[in-house]
Each structure stands twice: as C-alpha cells, then as structure tokens.
Amino acid sequence: MELILLSGGSGKRLWPLSNDSRSKQFLKVLNNNEILESMVQRVWGQLQKVQLHQSTVIATSKSQADIIHSQLGDHVPLIIEPERRDTFPAIALASTFLFSIKGVRLDDVIVVLPVDPYVGIEYFEKIKRLESIVKETDAELVLMGVKPTYPSEKYGYIVPQATLNQQQDCLHVSHFKEKPTESEAQELINQDALWNCGVFAFRLEFMISLLKNKGFPTHYEELQEQYNQLDKTSFDYAVVEKAKKINVLSYTGDWKDLGTWNTLTEEMGIKQIGKGIISEDSTNTHLINELDIPVTVVGIKDAVVAASPDGILVTDKASSPRLKDVLNGFSQRPMFEERRWGWYKVLDYTKYDEHEVLTKRICILEGKNLSYQKHNARKEIWTIIKGSGLFAFNGEIHSVQSGDVLEIPLGSIHGIKASTDLEIIEVQSGSQLVEEDIERIFTSWDDVEQHCKIFRPRTGC
C-alpha cells in the first residue's frame, strides 16, 4: 500500500498566523509534552508510529515545499505541482510518479488522505484496512467516512445503501450530499450518512487507466509538462461522483477538522503562546502572539487574540468561522515565511514612485545555506547581527561574522552558509521586489564551493 498525503490550500480561516505560504497545517500551536508542533508534524509522527511513513509521498505546491522540508526533514519525498490546480490534478501527478518513477505495480493499492486531520492513532489503523477491502471487492473506489457527532452544514455526506452496524462497517455507497442545511444534515444522519473526510483508496491501475482514457501521458515527467491541461477540479467531482462502484468504510474514532480558530483552540492544549498576559477573569480565551511586543488581554471571555507580522485578530470564538468571508478581497504579501534553511520576517515595506524598499530579518540555521543567486531588478545590503558563516560573492568565498555589512549590487551572484545560527538584516531596494526576480545558480553549497575560489580568512568583500 502506498499513501499520498495532500498538502494544499492557503490561509484565511486562521489569519493572521496563516497566509499564502504558511497554511493551517504548518502552524506550531499544538502542545505535545511541552513542545509545540504543527498538524503536519503530528500526522507524520503518527504515520511513523504505525510504520506507514516509508511508503508515503506528499503532494504539494512550490510555495509549501520549503516549509515541509523544514518541519519534517529533507528526506520526506515531495510531489511538487507545477501550479496549483486542485486535488484531481495533484492526485493524478502523484499517481504517475508512483507508477513511472517509483515502480509501484498497477494492482497495488493507493490511499489518498489530507495532511492535516486531527485524529487518534486508531484512524491510521483503520486506514490500513482499506488495502484489504480494495483487494477483496470489485469496488473502483473505497472511501472512509466519519460517523457524525452533530448535524454539520460545512461537510459533505456519504450515504450508504444499508444500515451500518458493528458486524458490517463497510457498505456500498448510495449517493453523496454536499454541504446540506442543518435540517437536511440531521435527516442524513438518521440515514446513517457519514462525513466525507477526504480519504480515497483505489488500485493504481484505476488512475493510470483514467489518464490514458483522457489522452494524458502516464509518465511523471511528461504529465508535468502537460499539467496545465488537466481539469482544474476536485477529485470528488472529477472521479468520485462519476465512479460506478464505490464502497465506504465507517470510522467512529476521534476526528476533527481544525480549520477555524474555535476548533483549533479546543485542541491546542495551552492557552497562551508568546509574550503577554491573560487576566484570570478572561475565561476560555486564547492568546497566540508571534510578535516581539507583549499583548495583554483583560476581562475578555470566549475569545481568540492572535498577533503575527501579517496582522492582529481579535474575535469571539463563535464568530471565528466568519473570518474568511470578512477577509474576502483582502490581500498582501506574506510577512513571515518558514523555509528549509530557517525563516524570515518582514520588518518594513515602502513603495515610492520609482522603486520599492523592503527590510527583512532573516535567520539561517547552523549548517544551512541560501541558494547562490542573483537579481536583475534589485540590490541588497546585508548586515550580519548574529553568528558567523561563509559568504559567496561573484566566484569567491569569504568568512563573515556579526557586525559585517555586505553590499550586493544588482546582478551580482551571491549566497551564504551559516557556520552557526546566523541572523541578517536585509534591505532590498529596486524596481521590483518579487520572488520571480531570483535566478538560482546553485542550491547545494557543495556546488557553490566547487565553483568558487575559497578564502577562509576575513578579507572583506
């Protein structure tokens, strides 16, 4: 059995901590024995406990690749979409990777699941059952559905053809119902309907045949080239709703979608993260502060106060699901990002008539490096405020340390490796301060050292 974890989406429901590059699954807000971890770290740890991690790949976008490697390690295999095109294209691309690159057999079972469910370990034990159900039945697809705990209007429902019981927890699917009203949801529950939790199982041949029938290549690299021609639609709509033989396996254990502040704070295990004070009479109130200034909460009940470089939120917990609608149309560049080499925080951004100025605080972790790169629309000044490292500049490498100021003119090729944890204040100035203005020459420091002349003593730049 091979697993595909889907990691996508951008952040609005958990703003200001989540943004376009840091979705909800990457927020380190879950308390695990006094250590804060993210949803993706929690799920990966559970996969390791049940020995499923070695047969798992993560399908994601370019913008999330760095943060996944930062939180899980460089060894985790990623299927990176050339562009975001919903779950059907992502699953199709991952399937061709398993088929043409990894060499998975056509009769092997593939299980697809989200990267961010908040579940107990029994959830993954149930996942294991999907393999035998696919192999022992003639179903094209086997889904896993969660037994509802209340008539929710935000989930899709899977309606089985018969009544579920302890002896028979896997049945044929009758039909589906997307996001019903509360009264409709209650009627569906009376029919033993299950929440659709986004778990799909099928033989690899099912997806490979589907791609062939649609006229698409089944080799990974070839499908990457034609990725923008795949329908930009969900796997549910493109595949599930059109399949003729579908079974559903009932799951009755713990399961929760931590997609809004009210549900997330129920499972955080801690009331305060970051600098600040919550008064004793501020009952059922959570404070999450990523800023360096303290936040004080006095006499506020049933609320969330969240502060980050992207903004400040004060919301009643019951109203927090409305956040995405309130932020509709609001857009700004991410002010904080976690990368495989460390992180950066935007300190200031100013746009003048003819140019822009952006100031960042950058932390490069010991042993990590920024890519060897150049820019065609901006110059940079780096002031090293902590640590030491090696600075590559136009073919030469110099040692640098706290207090050094490095000027990087437009078009200069440059990179840096941290000998110890290294912090830099970077000031960018130019006509266009965008990610697309980065031309990466090398990403590996070994390649940089082979290319450059190495001067270990500090001789200036």
For residue 82, which of 214, 182, 228 has the smallest C-alpha distance? 228
- DSSP designation for 320: G
Between the alpha carbon of residue 62 and those of residues 15, 80, 107, the distances in Å are 21, 6, 30
pLDDT given at position 331: 78
Q: Are residues 162 and 106 in the same domain?
A: yes
- Cβ–Cβ under 8 Å, residues 52 and 124: yes
pLDDT at 458 over 60: no
Is residue 460, in this structure, part of any structural domain at all? no
Between the alpha carbon of residue 258 and those of residues 268, 271, 417, the distances in Å are 10, 16, 37
- The pLDDT tens digits of the residues spanning 106-130 come to 999 999 999 989 999 999 999 999 9
- Cβ–Cβ under 8 Å, residues 142 and 111: no
Helix (H, G, I), strand (E, B) or coil at 32: strand
Is residue 331, in this structure, part of any structural domain at all? no
pLDDT given at position 461: 41
Q: Are residues 310 and 188 in the same domain?
A: no
Nearest-Å Rg of the Cα atoms of the chain is 25
Domain of residue 306, residue span: 271-326
The string of DSSP letters for 42-91 reads HHHHHHHHTT-GGGEEEEEEHHHHHHHHHHH-TTS-EEEESS---HHHHH
Backbone angles phi, psi at 12, to 5 degrees: -135, -35
Is residue 461, in this structure, part of any structural domain at all? no
Q: H or E element: which one contains 267? A: helix 261-267
Residue 320 burial (10 A CB sphere; 0-12, 13-18, 19+) = buried
Is residue 263, in this structure, part of any structural domain at all? no
Is residue 165, in this structure, part of any structural domain at all? yes
Is residue 264, in this structure, part of any structural domain at all? no
Q: Are residues 281 and 245 in the same domain?
A: no
For residue 158, which of 243, 91, 59, 258 has the smallest C-alpha distance? 243
pLDDT at 47 over 50: yes
* CATH value at residue 28: 3.90.550.10
Q: What is the pTM of this model?
A: 0.87
Q: Are residues 275 and 244 in the same domain?
A: no
Q: Are residues 207 and 184 in the same domain?
A: yes
Percentage helix, strand, coil, to 5, in the chain?
25, 35, 40
Q: Are residues 55 and 185 in the same domain?
A: yes
Q: Are residues 15 and 49 in the same domain?
A: yes
Tokens matching residue 214: 């649609």
Q: Are residues 102 and 148 in the same domain?
A: yes
pLDDT grade, residue 460 (50/70/90)?
very low
- Cβ–Cβ under 8 Å, residues 179 and 188: no
Q: Are residues 206 and 280 in the same domain?
A: no
For residue 284, which of 271, 269, 267 has the smallest C-alpha distance? 271
Q: Are residues 169 and 213 in the same domain?
A: yes
Degrees to nearest 5, angle at CA 284 with 278 and 289: 45
pLDDT given at position 227: 96
Is residue 334, in this structure, part of any structural domain at all? no
CA torsion sign, 150 to 151 to 154 to 155? Answer: positive
* CATH value at residue 382: 2.60.120.10
pLDDT at 239 over 80: yes
pLDDT at 459 over 70: no
Residues near 164 by beta carbon (within 8 Å), at least 6 away in sequence: 171, 192, 250
Least confident of 41-50, 68-77, 221-230, 326-335: 326-335
pLDDT at 165 over 70: no
The number of folded domains in the chain is 3
Over range 378-384, report the average pLDDT.
Answer: 97
Q: Are residues 16 and 105 in the same domain?
A: yes
Task: State how far the Cα of 18 lies from the Cα of 336, in Å rounded to an integer.
Answer: 9
Is residue 49, in this structure, part of any structural domain at all? yes
Tokens matching residue 401: 């340390």
Q: Are residues 26 and 157 in the same domain?
A: yes
What percentage of residues in the chain have a pLDDT greater than 90?
A: 81
What angle do the packed helices 62-72 and 39-49 form, to 10 degrees? 60
Question: From its phi and psi, is residue 450 left (phi > 0), alpha (psi between -120 and 50) or beta?
Answer: alpha
Task: State how far the Cα of 434 lies from the Cα of 258, in Å rounded to an integer.
Answer: 32
Biggest CA–CA distance in the chain, Å, is 78
